[in-house]
Structure 1
Amino acid sequence: MPRFAFEDFVPGTTEILGPVTVSKDDILAFAREYDPQPFHVDEIAARDSFVGTLIGSGWHTACINMRLLADDKILDSTSMGAPGIDELKWLKPVRPGDTLRSRMTVVDARASKSRPSIGLVQFQFALVNQNDETVMTQANWIMFGRRDAEPVPALARPAPAEAAAAPIGTDAVEGPRFSANPYLDDLVAGDTEELGSYTFATDEIIRFARQHDPQRFHVDPDAAKHSLFGDLCASGWHTAAVWMKLMIAHREEIRVQALARGERPARLGPSPGFTNLKWLKPVYAGDTVTYRSTLTGARASASRPGWGLAFHHNTGVNQHGEEVFSFDGMVFWERRPER
């Protein structure tokens, strides 16, 4: 029996997880693969960026918190994964050499009404650096098996041969498209862009999870067959990191096209955070997920002249036409320069 079950997480308790020191190589390795913005991958370019110095990707910071939680609690628990993240805020940048600890607070705990052998635990995390500055906060629920409960039946994985419920591709996108090189002032709520598709291979799922989220159903195909998910599936943080990877590739394509036309590309800054992240269905090995982003609003920044915040709703749909991933995000976006 694992050490930690649902009953061991008592509301009101707080623990410190970690520490871990984040190296420059750690920051570069994650960012080069999933978030290659200049302020994450290039010290020289970072000096002229929104931030002014090399910093870690926010998604990397979230993965660091996940790994601290996994090492201290999850890997020796009855964890059955998380349905999503209610809210995450990136409050201060993480720089090379920072030492991070996670302050984990149990906020609430509820037995499942539909599945008596499962309980849900609500957590609040505050990731702090060596100066006791909070760099990230996160609120979410995690599912745990109850002690001595009967095993939960595994989910039925859709057959690989099933046809998609709707065509997946550029032609399936409805509504207007972003302009070729939009500044904040050009953005229109409702504009939708398809960011691309990604097939989650077994070795990629395992490689990501071993580093950031090594739960058995992400790293061990045999053990995964006896888990709630019934087969090997990607970490939710992996599905999110791939969204970021495709978003940056999409923005780079826009940048290159703008330069070819002799235009100065609109720049994007960091994100303050997101809300309502949902992992709606497992992403299994071999699944292909198509990601889209829809502009939901924009406003000028009162504290950053020349910049504003763009708000967007993002989704991932698998080859069966099922939505597997969604969240509401925001990002600093450059305004059109005055002439």
Structure 2
Amino acid sequence: MTVLYLDDLAPGQCFGGAARIRIEPERVASFATEFDPQPFHLDAQAATQTLFGGLAASGWHTAAATMRLLVDSDFKPAGGIVGAGFEELRWPLPVRPGDELRVESEVLEVRASRSRPQQGLVRLRTSTYNQHNELVQVSVGSLVVQRRPASAPGVN
């Protein structure tokens, strides 16, 4: 595992990984029961009468699965994946029970902090796809990433 410091990152770099998460039907219901108890997440019959046309995982369930996939991806920023905020979060298609998700991320911008010289911000677009390579979530957010300490070796 190669830890990436702010100094190692540049716009256009892309990261993926082999990790996949299958959205199990019972997890759709348990997540929704606790955090988003709406009929289109809980009741398959009722969901057919909604704009989803069937049972769909909560967008927040998708976001949580995306976070796990991001942590398991090839993107390993120094200091961990520490969010500073989002400017975009969209769910263009619903995630269905049984879908298998994966992520791809692209560095959009890298900026050193003026007030905290030991760190900076990375603007990252993370796209989540289902098993059909359909985009089910896209987010653009800023992450706090540590700069390379003077004693740390460079990336090979």
Residue 125 of structure 1, CA deviation:
1.2
Q: Write the mapping of 1:11-30 to structure 2, written as runs, cut at 5 A.
A: 11-17=11-17, 18-30=19-31
Residue 64 of structure 1, CA deviation:
1.1
Equivalent position of 1:84 in the other structure: 85
Equivalent position of 1:40 in the other structure: 41
What is the alpha-carbon distance in structure 2 between the residues aligned to residue 48 and residue 31 of structure 1?
Answer: 18
Task: Say if 1:123 and 1:141, in contact at 8 Å, map to a contact too.
Answer: yes
Task: Say if 1:79 and 1:142, in contact at 8 Å, map to a contact too.
Answer: no
Q: 1:133 to 1:80 in 2, by over 3 A?
A: closer
Equivalent position of 1:7 in the other structure: 7
What is the alpha-carbon distance in structure 2 between the residues aligned to residue 88 and residue 76 of structure 1?
Answer: 21
Percentage of identical aligned residues: 38
With normalisation by structure 2, the TM-score equals: 0.86
Q: 1:39 to 1:66 in 2, by over 3 A?
A: same
String of CA shifts for 1:242-266, please: whole Å, max 9, x gaps. Answer: xxxxxxxxxxxxxxxxxxxxxxxxx
What is the alpha-carbon distance in structure 2 between the residues aligned to residue 16 and residue 7 of structure 1?
Answer: 20
**5+ residue gaps in structure 2?**
152-156
Residue 67 of structure 1, CA deviation:
1.0
Query: In the alignment, is residue 96 of structure 1 matched against residue 91 of structure 2?
Result: no
Residue 72 of structure 1, CA deviation:
2.5
What is the alpha-carbon distance in structure 2 between the residues aligned to residue 38 and residue 69 of structure 1?
Answer: 29
What is the alpha-carbon distance in structure 2 between the residues aligned to residue 77 and residue 28 of structure 1?
Answer: 35
With normalisation by structure 1, the TM-score equals: 0.41
Higher RCO structure, 1 or 2 (CA under 8 Å, sep 6+): 2
Equivalent position of 2:146 in the other structure: 145
What is the alpha-carbon distance in structure 1 between the residues aligned to residue 6 and residue 79 of structure 2?
Answer: 7
Q: 1:19 to 1:80 in 2, by over 3 A?
A: closer
Larger radius of gyration: 1
Q: 1:44 to 1:131 in 2, by over 3 A?
A: same
Equivalent position of 1:118 in the other structure: 119
Residue 76 of structure 1, CA deviation:
6.8
Task: Say if 1:55 and 1:96, in contact at 8 Å, map to a contact too.
Answer: yes
Residue 71 of structure 1, CA deviation:
2.2
User: Counterpart of 1:6 in structure 2: which amino acid?
Assistant: L
Residue 73 of structure 1, CA deviation:
5.3
**5+ residue gaps in structure 1?**
151-339
Give the number of equivalent residue pairs. 149
Task: Say if 1:16 and 1:102, in contact at 8 Å, map to a contact too.
Answer: yes
Equivalent position of 1:63 in the other structure: 64
String of CA shifts for 1:30-60, please: whole Å, max 9, x gaps. Answer: 1110001001011122122232201000111
SS at match of 2:20: strand
